[in-house]
Chains A and B, each alone.
Chain A
Amino acid sequence: MTLAILCRRAFSDLRQNFCAQLITTMVVSLSILIFAFFTLLYFNLQHFVDRFGAELGLVVFLSEDTPKDRIPSLYQKLTGLSEVEKVTYISSEEAFGRLEKFLKDEKEVLEGVDPRFLPPSFEIQVNRAMFQLKRIKQLAGEINKWPEVSKVQFGQEWIDRLYIFSGLVRTIVAITGLLLLFTAAFVVTNTIKLTVYARQEELKIIRLVGATNIFIQGPFLVEAFLQGLMGSSLALGVVFACFRFFQGIEAKSELLRGVNICFIPWQYTVAIIASSVLLCVLGTALAMRRSLRL
């Protein structure tokens, strides 16, 4: 009975104040939209750096005088390491073959050169889940101490720079996102406050006639819930559409292939929607407190 009245009131209220409701929903939507774009940017940056770093891997060069029969045991030793995902042995001849391939038409320059002049090496793919720059560095250091190893190479400088840069960008994005979040919260609560204040006289009268606070607040809270839900869903929908659009471009473009952009993780999507709903409902409850005294 009471629930039916509440729903009926919420519905007739929605119809009567459709414009104000729509504006509030749009404000919620726009605020969340801007924030969601930043979140998307943040996660893609993180995703990209992690992937890129992991793909670089290590190359372990052996001293030229390493006896052939040491290779299997070294291979065993390397695959035994927990950070290592995959090890490939590249013999001197194979390395030479690659070089030839690389030079294509100019391979004449290699004529007369001993095919074993390149040192044999192991190419190591690092376990992606384990990837951490510090650990890779450590690993490289340890392997370097093995007597058979002449040099361990990885894009250290590259990664270092990338990390410092991306760390900086990530901090900036995170701070901007946080500021945007506050701005969104501020704008949304104030828009709600304005719509509530505009109807304060009405609320006071309804209370004077003997309505309980639940009766008065109910429709507003239902509306706030819907605003928060629809506003944030709409915003995330737009962001998702843009994401799909970029994915399409990425698939067609040679240059961008492999960038592999990702969407905001679903846990965060849910969190954004939930926070938006919470913000709207709490904002409404707070804004209404004033009209519900006496």
Chain B
Amino acid sequence: MISIESSIILLKDVSKKYSTDNVVFSGIDLEIEKGEFVFLTGPSGAGKSTMLRILFCAERPTSGEVWVDGVTLSSLSNAQVPYLRRKIGVIFQDFKLLSNYTIFDNVALSLEVIGLGKKQAEQRVMQMLEGVGLAGKTSHYPLQLSGGEQQRVAIARAVVNRPSIILADEPTGNLDLQRTEEVIMLMEELNARGATIIFATHDDRLFENTHRRVIRLFNGRIRI
């Protein structure tokens, strides 16, 4: 049974098509509990990123209804979208770092938008960057970093404001084994502190040995 109370994310009969011959998925029903850590997998082009984009309102579904943290997304006005996004940390597949901002400023932006002062922000940003092993590169610009380093900046920016939902879109795509481990550990830790996590990846090895739920997208449907 689907219940709005215990679930933090709820999709009912959701479909997304860009045109009549470009249907990403249709008839998706999905429920994710508060505090859950789920993997979202499926082949390239299955619609993982699209589904995440719908959850943080970067895209509207063609039909169906989506609830996030008790909010009906279809009733959300453009002006209300930012307030929803502050509860959601998104690690973008293509990082979406600001190339004319330093690493520090990129991460600090997440705190700035919620109105945090520079002093408070500074400490948290530095802690966060230390956590992902980039303390020495705070004044660099994104293009001066390697792909893996950029990805870790993207992770730091997504989680620095302690969001209750984390949408990670291939957050380990550019990382070596050790860094991948570290990122998974970081996610586990955030999850242990109460964050709900959706981890999109097409790398089966990441969830082979876990007890976590795995949501598989295939041919526009969910396969359990």
Interface of A toward B, CB cutoff 8 Å: 1-2, 4-5, 8-9, 16, 202, 205-213, 215, 292-294
CA A1 – CA B120 in complex, angstroms?
12
Q: Is the CB of B113 within 8 A of A16?
A: no
Per-residue contact bits, chain B 69-110, to A (CB 8 Å; 1 contact, 0 not): 000000000110111011010101000111010000000011
Q: Is the CB of A209 within 8 A of B109?
A: yes
Q: Is the CB of A205 within 8 A of B98?
A: yes
Q: Which of B58, B78, B83 contacts A208 (CB 8 A)?
A: B58
Instruction: Look across to chain A and name the residue whose beta carbon is closest to the beta carbon of B59.
Output: A294
- B157 CB–A CB distance under 8 Å: yes
Residues of B within 8 A of A215 (CB): 113
State how many angstroms separate the Cβ of A12 from the closest Cβ of chain B: 9
Residues of A within 8 A of B58 (CB): 208, 294
Residues of B within 8 A of A5 (CB): 112, 115, 117
A-B contact count (CB 8 A): 58
Q: Is the CB of A208 within 8 A of B100?
A: no
Residues of B within 8 A of A207 (CB): 82
Residues of A within 8 A of B56 (CB): 208
Q: Is the CB of B115 within 8 A of A209?
A: no
Q: Is the CB of B113 within 8 A of A202?
A: no
Q: Is the CB of A294 within 8 A of B57?
A: yes
Most buried by B among A4, A202, A207, A210: A210
Q: Is the CB of A209 within 8 A of B79?
A: no
Q: Is the CB of B115 within 8 A of A202?
A: no
Instruction: Look across to chain B and name the residue whose beta carbon is closest to the beta carbon of A16.
Output: B100
Residues of B within 8 A of A293 (CB): 78
CA A1 – CA B116 in complex, angstroms?
8
State how many angstroms separate the Cβ of B93 from the closest Cβ of chain A: 13
Q: Is the CB of A212 within 8 A of B113?
A: yes
Q: Is the CB of B85 within 8 A of A213?
A: no
Q: Is the CB of B100 within 8 A of A210?
A: no
CA A250 – CA B60 in complex, angstroms?
69
Q: Is the CB of B157 within 8 A of A209?
A: yes
Q: Is the CB of A213 within 8 A of B113?
A: no
Query: 10 closest Cβ contacts across the A-B interface?
Result: A210-B85, A211-B113, A210-B86, A212-B82, A205-B96, A210-B113, A210-B82, A2-B115, A209-B110, A202-B98
Residues from 25 to 80 in B contacting A, C-beta threshold 8 Å? 56-60, 78-79
Q: Is the CB of A292 within 8 A of B78?
A: yes
Residues of A within 8 A of B115 (CB): 1-2, 5
Residues of B within 8 A of A205 (CB): 96-98
A210-B110, A212-B113 given; 18 more Cβ-contact pairs under 8 Å:
A1-B115, A2-B115, A5-B112, A5-B117, A202-B100, A208-B56, A208-B90, A210-B88, A210-B114, A210-B161, A212-B79, A213-B82, A215-B113, A293-B78, A294-B57, A294-B58, A294-B59, A294-B81
Q: Is the CB of A1 within 8 A of B117?
A: yes
CA A207 – CA B59 in complex, angstroms?
13
Instruction: Look across to chain A and name the residue whose beta carbon is closest to the beta carbon of B80.
Output: A212
Instruction: Look across to chain A and name the residue whose beta carbon is closest to the beta carbon of B79.
Output: A213
State how many angstroms separate the Cβ of A169 from the closest Cβ of chain B: 51
Residues of A within 8 A of B57 (CB): 294
A202-B100, A294-B58 given as contacts; is B81 within 8 A of A209 (CB)?
no
Instruction: Look across to chain B and name the residue whose beta carbon is closest to the beta carbon of A292.
Output: B78
CA A208 – CA B97 in complex, angstroms?
11
State how many angstroms separate the Cβ of B215 from the closest Cβ of chain A: 23
Q: Which of B86, B88, B113 contacts A206 (CB 8 A)?
A: B113
State how many angstroms separate the Cβ of A3 from the closest Cβ of chain B: 10
Residues of B within 8 A of A294 (CB): 57-60, 78, 81
State how many angstroms separate the Cβ of B101 from the closest Cβ of chain A: 8
Q: Which of A8, A202, A209 contacts B85 (CB 8 A)?
A: A209
State how many angstroms separate the Cβ of B54 from the closest Cβ of chain A: 11
Q: Is the CB of B82 within 8 A of A211?
A: yes
Most buried by A among B85, B88, B97, B113: B113
State how many angstroms separate the Cβ of B202 from the closest Cβ of chain A: 23
